[in-house]
Amino acid sequence: MSTGDVTGRVAAVTGGNGFLGSAIVAALSAAGWRIRLLARGALDHPVLSGIALQQVSGDLADAAAVAELVRDADLVVHAAGLVKARTRQHFLAVNRDGTARLAEAVKRLPRPPRFILISSQAAREPSLSDYAASKRLGEAAAEAVLAGRPCMVLRPCVIYGPWDREGRALLRLAGSRIAPAVRAPEPRIAMIHVRDAAAAVAAAASGGPEVGVFEICDERADGYGWRELLRRLGEANGRVPRAVAVPDLLIRAAGSANELLALAGGPPAMFGAGKAREILHRDWSADPARRLSAALWQPRIALTEGLAETVAWARSRRGVPRSR
């Protein structure tokens, strides 16, 4: 695919009604792509307001809708995926099987488009959780189906920013007097603002490598310690919570209890046994060997700036209490 002007070319996107997906749509539209989205319901995400969109009604389980989505596309960005589910099979049905179904539809096209799979840094450690395993298997499925064709995998580190509804629980810690912290040695956690992640996708869409696995993060590839993140969150809200070390065993027990509640009929939980193991993994720094070329993309939003914006957004929706 040419790395020149993309104006008028068709970008087929899944997951465009979500947190990262909507930011990707905005970034691609600003770059000149015509956007075609796969979605079951109304395209009502506020970030999509004012963007000209063509919708294909359906989901990844609908082979006809998937084929219509990718027809004549110059670019396919697969950003859809489950981040919480009751069972491993629910994760696999979407994150592995849905990815394979989309890749098969792309494979059947006479002119292969550039294909970008939005995975997760968690895929680096598939033994930690069903979510991580499903993302790794989704990568493997796409690479196997599209062998010899364009297939680029982007693994964002921890994404944050406005409209991250699943992340508001962490943001509420910014208004707390006391906050839990993982015992030493502290995990190293690489971060990336949602608009920077979307900008990386837009850059990769029109240039750079067509194959390979890449991790994207902000300027701190070595990541941040848990206490530093708590301090920065608190500073964004006007008061730094006191960090209290919590034993690993207690974090694991809390995750398991939450998961049992979901299996007993409650809603799928973001925090379960698998997520506890992810939280306790000590190295979520970015892999320098998987970095995108600085000539192609560089992060622009520093953590201090990004957290201040995110806390202001969450507070405007009463997701973070004001400090007193």
What are φ and ψ of residue 160, in 5° steps?
-140, 170
Report which of residues 268 and 24 the model is more confident about: 24
Ranges 27-31, 46-50, 255-259, most confident: 27-31
What residues have CB less than 8 Å from 173, skipping those under 6 apart? 179, 230, 233, 241
The residue type of 300 is R
Sign of CA dihedral 34, 208, 164, 232: negative
Across 121-142, average pLDDT: 97
162-218 pLDDT tens trace: 998 777 777 776 667 888 889 989 999 999 999 999 999 999 999 889 999 999 999
Q: What is the pLDDT of residues 282-321, one digit of tens each?
A: 999 999 999 999 999 999 999 999 999 998 888 787 654 4
Q: What is the pTM of this model?
A: 0.92
Query: Residue 237 has what pLDDT?
Result: 79
160 bridge partner residues: 193
**Position 119 confidence tier, pLDDT thresholds 50, 70, 90:** very high
**Measured between alpha carbons, how far is residue 45 from residues 11, 31, 163, 164, 313 in Å?**
18, 20, 9, 12, 15
Cα–Cα distance for residue pair 224/151, rounded to 1 Å: 30
Look at residue 256 in the predicted model and tell me its pLDDT: 86
- Is 34 in a helix, a strand, or coil? strand
How far apart, in whole angstroms, are the C-alpha atoms of residue 114 and residue 80? 17
Residue 127 has which token pair?
Answer: 């033994």
| Cα distance between residue 132 and residue 212, in whole Å | 19
Contact 106, 117 (CB under 8 A): no
